[in-house]
Structure 1
Amino acid sequence: MEVATAVKLNRTVLAVILISLISGVLSGDIVHHDDKSPTRPGCDNDFVLVKVPTWIDDKEEDEYVGVGARFGPTLQSKEKDAHKTRVTLADPTDCCTTPKNKLTGEIILVQRGKCSFTTKANVAEAAGASAILIINNSTELFKMVCEKDEPDIDIGIPVVMLPQDAGESLRGNLQKNLNVFVQLYSPSRPLVDVAEVFLWLMAVGTILCASYWSAWTARESAIDQDKLLKDASDEYLSTGPYSSGVVEITTTSALVFVVVASCFLVLLYYKMSDAFIEVLVILFAIGGAEGLQTCLVALLSCLRSLEHAANTFIKIPFLGAVSYLTLVVSPFCVACAVLWASFRRHHFAWIGQDILGVTLIITVIQIIQVPNLKVGAVLLGCAFLYDIFWVFVSKLMFDESVMIVVARGDKSGEDGIPMLLKIPRMFDPWGGYSIIGFGDIILPGLLVAFSLRYDWLSNKSLREGYFLWTMIAYGLGLLITYVALNLMDGHGQPALLYIVPFTLGTFITLGIKRGDLLHLWTRGEPDRICPHVQLQSSGE
């Protein structure tokens, strides 16, 4: 028991480090900053992403992504309706004065700066351009709006901004006197992508599995403990309290979590690099392998044919007593983690990441427990404030959302950090992933698992208990998060902003209504007169 507990504690330390990194459901849209200007006639377009496929000397080349302006006509939504048009370089390049070259319907490529976006568009339209491509001065996309003191705008050509690297590539080809053609169109994004449905099911299913495993383990441990207490000898009583190998969160550790998580998030924000990402990948691979091993061993131990292998141990240096089943399973789990780490940049790597992530989450919820509702309320309350601060308030201090920057991996060469569950958007013409942070599953999952343990130890039915309603509340909270994500035009949303009020609010409200709140808040487990007898009947 002592060896198993030590191994679990090591896993817990690693898991806590991982969950401290990030939580939040985010979007991959690349639009920023300048959307505060009020709309008015001629300057009231919705911001849309624009596909810009290119041809160099009649050979199809890269496809870039731009963003449409608040002004000008809307673009076609289908590729077949978009015209293939020649691109020409503005002279002067800023297009703040009438171009020297004569235009006959070409798309003009200009550099950002020296005058307003609307001035460039008016000059280009007057010169005969059919559209204007503006090269941004950074790799991000900038939302183009009208100036506050400008009158009503009447611009008749589309205006699209390109990131700096895409624009410089086109300009380089034009300076070589190559023929450059592009199409401009903006396909519509589906209101709800199937990926979000599957991600919702994955999150809810993970908490369900983790909760039932945690409750089953707690009940079996309570049965064993009660039987030992009933038949206890003096020798047993002198050995001290029963050890279950479970780590209980305290109020202090819940508060420390926010401080540690915030410090680590700031460290990631400032020190994000390829090397730092590699460290996170290694940590995640180790934690994922541990989680996969724990889940597989527990699952295979239920088979009668493997029961002997699961209960037969061998001593290994530095590890202590390890079962033969664990020895057989461990190489497979390590191989899975190594394969994921090696191929993590491939399009199919999300499958391995999700498998490792789900098993790690289930293991964490199995090992770490909330002892009562008070600790659960403090933990989720702190996480609620943590999410809001680092997604929204941090913009005032850092000029950008720290949580979103870290989650997307904007300052590294990676497509976000690995401590996320993600599924590729299946019917989204813009591609990308729907993602959810580990914290958005683990933290509320700890409360949901506590509710099921309480129900089972109290012999409460599904309807009379707390688990069913807390689980439904979590599902609704996550669903509202995705609704908000779509209504907010893809801007990052802190999932705990919606999940915490639903889950914690439902639990506390039911506790008050049923008169159990004081008991849930302080003790967190029911009073049992004949504990082992009641629990056995519950198991039947």
Structure 2
Amino acid sequence: MKLLVMAPDSSYRLMTFGFFLLLLSPIAAGDGSSTACRNDFPMVKVKKWVNGDEKEPLFGLNAAFGPILPEELKQAQRLPANFLEPATGCSPSSSKLPGSIALVLRGDCDYTTKARVAQEGGSAALVMINTEDGLPKMGCANITMLSIKIHVITVSKSAGLDLKKSITDGIQVELLIYSPNRPIVDYSVVFLWMMSVGTVVSATLWSDIVGSEEYYEPSNQLSPKESDSGANDDGILHITMGMHSCILSFILSKSKDFGQTTVKLPIVGKITILSLVVLIICLVFAIVWAATRKKSFSWIGQDILGIFMMISVLQLARLPNIKVATALLCCAFVYDIFWVFLSPYIFHDSVMVAVARGNNSGGESIPMLLRFPKLSDPYYGYNMIGYGDILFPGLLVTFSHRFDKAHGKSGANGYFLWLIIGYGSGLFFTYLSLYLMAGRGQPALLYLVPCTLGTCVLLGLKREELDLLWDHGDDSGQQRAPSPSTSDCT
């Protein structure tokens, strides 16, 4: 009787154990051959050879079904690539491509149907070419995805059309597909941090560097004052473009004699020879950048032009006090958060990220950002920061420097040094959050505004100078002598 009671219990436990083993078998296998549906779409790197010559690699997305791609280059296999017939890969009568990588165009049927057709033809992998901009994520359409045993990826329209043209022209194309892991932190972000902080510091100290503030009026007038040499500048054209004005003011700070000789040009009128020469150099630089803007090295010219432009803007646009700074930065704070985090729910994309990168499917647009290549990322790409993330906090930093000079402050007793530290810290927190959130675009002002404006307000409260900062004059060039009540900041 005792045995009869125990037998059903033992059978139940055995059946339950077997059932869980069956469920866990794909996970327990651990050999990368699981065909279960995954939730992620890892990046894929595709090395390409055309007639035996290695070309620039392509990049794509792995499908949520099929086996997992190898992470190491040595584990991947170099195979010939050919198009299925028909090119959409939806028909069971498609051509057989044993031991090769099948290429198909997006459309006419779901992803798993294309994968099964390629698999039945003996293909080792399937590369789907997107017919629209962007990279679609190939999710699991139905339970039949469990029967797919080949690697399935998608590549962009431009990369795929280049492949199609080469194969159509009878050129041999070979591909090697693998999915290397990205580093947790790309060390090149340090260089972008240095560029951003350096731009703010340079713009703030530019008047000290060139030895005079006369080239930049704090008012709305963009022309310089009469020169210290006493020469009459009436009728002479003064150009205040970013790169041109920075170079010209730096040269003139070394020797005023360079800017004395003038020449009269048709339509333009009188202009100094030095200004004309610098203008020609700047125009040539800008034209060369525009002609090579799609090259891999174009970021250098873009950053140089952007840095000069921001130095010029931060010299011309000046905040009178932190009352204006608070209104401006708080509005920018909310604006940045909305267009980065909330706009995807309305426009199906982060508008701020798209604008900053210069994305525009309808044509050309100017990317409003500094960028630096990701040196340790196998998928390349760039670390980026928008101009607004430098200009808005930079306005407050430049104000703090002028405030320190007007009240005889310097070093740790002033505000400039602490705001630079705050700006650098804000950028650090921005990049930290970027990596913690798996590369999702971050509104930098979310971190920069508290670290700069917050630092200024807290220091003002601690030093009992907040009223002075809040109601400071328009800084029209008249500096106030330091008083005993404001010179002691400890």
Aligned partners of 1:324, 1:176: CA distance in 2, in Å? 55
SS at match of 1:51: strand
Match of 1:143 among 126, 137, 143: 137
The corresponding residue for 2:217 is: 245
Instruction: Give the helix-richer structure, 1 or 2.
Output: 1
2:454 aligned with 1:505: yes
Q: CA separation of 1:215/1:453 partners in 2, compared to 1, >3 Å: closer, same or farther?
A: farther
| 1:365 maps to 2:314 | yes
For 1:457, give the aligned amino acid: A
Give the structure-2-normalised TM-score: 0.73
Counterpart mapping for 1:273-288 below 5 A: none
1:260 paired residue number = none
1:69-88 counterparts in 2 under 5 A? 69-88=63-82
Deviation at 1:481, TM superposition (A): 2.2
| SS of match in other structure, 1:211 | helix
* Separation (CA, whole Å) in 2 of partners of 1:333 and 1:59: 39
Taking structure 1 as reference, are residues 331 and 103 closer, same or farther at Cα in structure 2, changes over 3 Å only?
closer
Match of 1:294 among 235, 245, 267: 245
CA apart distance, 1:158: 1.7
Task: Give the corresponding residue for 1:203.
Answer: 196
Deviation at 1:201, TM superposition (A): 0.5
C-alpha displacement at 1:133, in angstroms? Answer: 1.6
Amino acid at match of 2:44: V
8 Å CA contact 1:41, 1:153 repeated in 2: yes
What is the CA-CA distance between 1:180 and the residue it aligns to? Answer: 4.3
Who is 1:383 aligned against? 332
Name the CA distance, whole Å, in 2 between partners of 1:59 and 1:216.
51
Residues 1:472 and 2:466 aligned together: no
Task: State the distance in 2 between where 1:369 and 1:291 align.
Answer: 16
Identity %: 42
**Which entry has the higher C-alpha Rg, 1 or 2?**
2
Which residues of 2 match residues 523-534 of structure 1 at below 5 A? 523=472, 531-532=480-481
- Distance in structure 1 (CA, Å) of the matches to 2:105 and 2:281: 54
**Does the 8 Å CA contact 2:82/2:100 hold for their aligned counterparts?**
yes
Would the alpha carbon gap of residues 376 and 320 (structure 1) be closer, same or farther in structure 2, given more than 3 Å must change? Answer: farther
Cα deviation for residue 185 of structure 1 reads 1.7
Q: Give the secondary structure class of the aligned counterpart of 2:412.
A: coil
Deviates more, 1:324-333 or 1:196-205: 324-333
1:489 Cα deviation from its structure 2 partner: 3.8
> What residue in structure 1 maps to residue 43 of structure 2?
49
Distance verdict in 2 for CA 1:122–1:486, change over 3 Å: farther
The 10-residue stretch of structure 1 (472-481 or 403-412) with the greater mean CA deviation from structure 2: 403-412
Higher deviation after alignment, 109-118 or 55-64:
55-64
For the residues of structure 1 that align with 2:273 and 2:97, how far apart are their CA atoms? 78
1:109 aligned partner: 103
2: distance between equivalents of 1:43 and 1:142? 16
Aligned counterpart in structure 1 of residue 126 of structure 2, from 124, 129, 132: 132
Mark the CA change 1:57 to 1:373 in structure 2 (over 3 Å): closer, same or farther: closer
1:446: Cα distance to partner?
A: 0.4
Deviation of 1:404 (Å) = 3.1
Residue 297 of structure 1: how far off its partner (Å): 3.5
Contact 2:216 2:315 in 1 (8 A): no
Q: What corresponds to 1:395 in structure 2?
A: 344
CA deviation profile, 1:22-78 (whole Å, cap 9, x unmatched): xxxxxxxxxxxxxxxxxx993336433323234456565664322112233332334
Distance 2:82 2:430 in 1: 44
Query: Residue 183 of structure 1: SS of its match in structure 2?
Result: strand
Shift of 1:207: 0.7
Q: What letter corresponds to residue 201 of structure 2 in structure 1?
A: L
Q: Is the 8 A contact 2:83 2:103 kept in 1?
A: yes
| Runs of 5+ consecutive residues of structure 2 not aligned to the other structure | 1-33, 221-237
Distance 1:71 1:502, change over 3 A: farther
Alpha-carbon RMSD across the aligned residues, in angstroms, is 4.2
Match of residue 435, structure 2, among 486, 492, 504: 486
Following superposition, the deviation at residue 452 of structure 1 comes to 1.9
Higher RCO (CA < 8 A, seq sep 6+) = 1
Say which SS state the counterpart of residue 247 (structure 1) adopts.
coil
- Cα distance, 1:478 vs structure 2: 1.5
Shift, 1:288, TM fit: 10
Distance 2:248 2:53 in 1: 55
How many residues matched? 433
TM-score (norm 1): 0.67
**Worse-matched range after superposition: 112-121 or 445-454:** 112-121
Tell me if structure 2 keeps the 8 A contact 1:93–1:111. yes
Q: 2:380 aligns with which of 431, 446, 464?
A: 431
SS of the aligned residue for 1:47 comes to: coil
How far residue 204 of structure 1 moved from its aligned partner, in angstroms, is 0.3
Aligned partner letter, 1:371: P
